[in-house]
Structure formats: structure tokens, C-alpha cells
A and B are shown apart, each in its own frame.
Chain A
Amino acid sequence: MIFAVAATITLSHFSAAAIYALFASIVFGITQRNTQKEMIRYALYCFTLFVLGTIAAGWVMWLLRH
């Protein structure tokens, strides 16, 4: 090994999902729409769906657990 990775990052489940949602939404917005306004709106739409989906999935798992 030439260089070892210095630090290990540990994120909570929600923060990991939120960061994932943020960057995936940015790429989706830029690549899937044509005008700047549409790109921003679509990125926000994707981000909202990602986060709401995460929260909904969390509650479903909580209900299954209890």
C-alpha cells in the first residue's frame, strides 16, 4: 500500500442518506432538464422525494420492528 487512507468517516443513517440525496439530486437536475430554472426545480423535487422516502422508509421499519 503506497498511502493509507488517513481517516475513516462515520455518518448516521439519516445524514448518509441526506448527503447521498443532495449530490444525486444535483446530477439528476443538471442532466435530466434543459433550462436552468427547470434544472433547479427538478433537483429540489428529487431531493425532497429522496428525503421524504428515507423518512417514510424509516417509519415503516419502525412499525415492522414494533
Chain B
Amino acid sequence: MAETNTRTAGVIDTAPPLTTMAVLAPAIGWLIPGAGHFIQRRWIRGLLLMSSVVILFVLGVLMDGKVYEFNTGDLLDMLGFVGDLGAGALYIVTRAMDWGKGAIQLASADYGTKYIITAGLLNIISAVDAYDIAIGKKQ
């Protein structure tokens, strides 16, 4: 028992500090692509991330790609929804406007669907990157 306590006391706490920026940066970065970097004054990175995610997403919608809504059906449809949701405000606006119905008769529409999902997933990676910068893990 005494040995266990000693070991516990010897453990160094390596959890990152929970600062306001560590919460805000990924949340805002998810909602508005690149904004998590903007609020930390990473202007060029933020602009490049925003451009990449927004252009991919908009091209996907213009290619008649499908925007998934919440569903409990096919597994791939559920994963598609999770990917799309990663785009934050872009997804919310697209759903509100009722865009992204998907034209299954077009080959390019299938590319569009993948563009939209990828934009969401890339935005999640960007938000995680903003968090890493906020906790000092990355410059």
C-alpha cells in the first residue's frame, strides 16, 4: 500500500492546461474553418486552411454532391453524416438552404459527395491543429 502511494505521488501530471484558448480555438475552428488559427494570429495558415476547406465544400455542392442528414440507416450514410458535420457552419448553412440533394445519375456528383465529406474531415484536422497550438504542443 505504501509502495502504491509512493508510485502515485511520483507520477508527473502531463495533462495540458485547460485554458480558454484551448476550448475556444477548436470550437471556433470547427464552426468557421481556419478561424481557430486566426484567433491565435496564425493568419497565413488560417487563410490556407479556410480556403482549402471552403473551396472543397463549395465545389462539392456545385458538383451536385450529396449532403447527408442525421440518419440511423446504412453505416456508410451515418459515417457520411459525421464527415459532413465536420464542416461546421458550412454544413449548417447548406442544410438550411436545402442544398446538396445529390444527383445520382451524374458521375461528378459522386466526386462532389466525397469532396463534401473530405472538407468536413479536413476541417476536424484543422480544429485539432488549432487546439495543439493553443496548448503549446505546436508553434
A interface list, Cβ under 8 A from B: 1-3, 5, 7-11, 13, 16, 19-20, 23-24, 26-28, 30-31, 34
> Which residues in window 28-55 of B have CB below 8 A to A?
45, 48-49, 51-53, 55
**CA–CA, A55 and B56, complex, Å:** 21
Which B residues are CB-close (under 8 A) to A3? 97
State whether B64 touches A8 (Cβ < 8 A). yes
- Number of contacting residues on B, CB 8 A? 32
Interface of B is mostly: helix
State whether B126 touches A27 (Cβ < 8 A). yes
Q: Is B111 an interface residue (CB 8 A)?
A: yes
| 25 A-B pairs in the complex with CB atoms less than 8 angstroms apart | A1-B98, A2-B97, A5-B64, A5-B99, A7-B62, A8-B64, A8-B108, A9-B62, A9-B63, A10-B63, A11-B63, A11-B111, A16-B108, A16-B111, A19-B56, A20-B56, A23-B52, A24-B52, A26-B51, A27-B49, A27-B125, A27-B126, A31-B125, A31-B128, A34-B139
